Structure 1
């Protein structure tokens, strides 16, 4: 957590430095300096790093910033991006710092915009049966919400952003995912699992179903338990033995399929742990059924 912060703001520039009491000044500097600008439609703006509770600075509706993030803070943070929230209800996010990055990183200008409402259903999977999970907590970036008695949630998040998701409830394994958010309201469901095995689910974003260009890469929505580190996907049955299959994809990377593949009836997928050990069976996503729901 950020414990000390010194922020100096001029009319056009914000300089903020996150203090790091554990940093050895004699060692090589592996900190990251985030440099960029932001714009909003008015009001004051709070800037946060990741999930830290306190803003690293509060400023006006526009300005430039230069924020140094110590390596110790980066290493302890699961979310390594800047969040901007204005007093008028607008929000925006920066690109994320990668684990291996150091030195100065120039960030594209962040344009704050009204938040977008997302909603959906959280179900618990026990003995193969799915039931609505009431009282579950869902976290999308910095936004947090709880499901109601019917297992449904509503949450406001920054638009045009790619944010980490965590869904949890007592007695269940944390479900993790990434949500590629546009500027449109969308519904997305999640599942809670009781086992630590590498399990998960693949879904197709609603807004992507109308894409027609054959060579377009369509990002898939993937949720999984923390032990799942790799996934393999195919529009034909997975017949290659897992231990010799060279098509495994790291879940830290973007997982996509071609638009032309959406015409196939079924997508096959399977999860594995960090050693590419498979503990769950092959699952399927009926692509044809997804496409038939679209009306133009």
Structure 2
């Protein structure tokens, strides 16, 4: 039987127009496509500066839910509130100043240099046709440096490896200087070092971050709370130690895994059984 975690009093408080900056609330969000509920009445309330990992098996609805947050999709019902404001009613520029998104895929192969791609993150802070000033250029190069990509600044984006492209797109979001970030599998294509560097950076920034992750050990190590989805629904939300149990992994992921406490960090550590044969 799937478990649901009781919502705390703070989480249950409906966001209002006076909500604290950096708060993110998903209230009974559903997305129905051709009669199928890809997301079914999903709710999640995030405090300022909180990092929440969104996890679940393939097809659970994680990416669809994230798309409603950064407004690539309009919910069939329910709403997404950023600082108490419905994102569907915000102007594109206002939303982009407050929320940055890092997606699994780039929509196009940009015929631009890496520096030009990262400079796109400064667009919400400019008037039409404004060029980059000295402050913009400093922010752009600082973002690239944070992602260990400054050496790629003049390289054509199209010639980068998958991991390099991912780091550049994260740098673009960083240059946006938004207080809230949505990241859909940000560690995809990255080697182990850059996976750790990226998630450490998210924590160090102090932003409110909703991060879809497949690696549950990374989620346990870097997230304040974990929200588990399955079949389009939120199954449970809580701290890593509350959520990542052998029972939940068997129920949601259909695996017989061992969950122990990591000897150095104290967070749950998941070990999968060795394949037979």
- What's the TM-score once normalised by structure 1's chain length? 0.26
Higher-strand-fraction structure: 1
Q: Comparing both chains, which one has the higher relative contact order based on Cα–Cα distances under 8 Å and sequence gaps of 6 or more?
A: 2
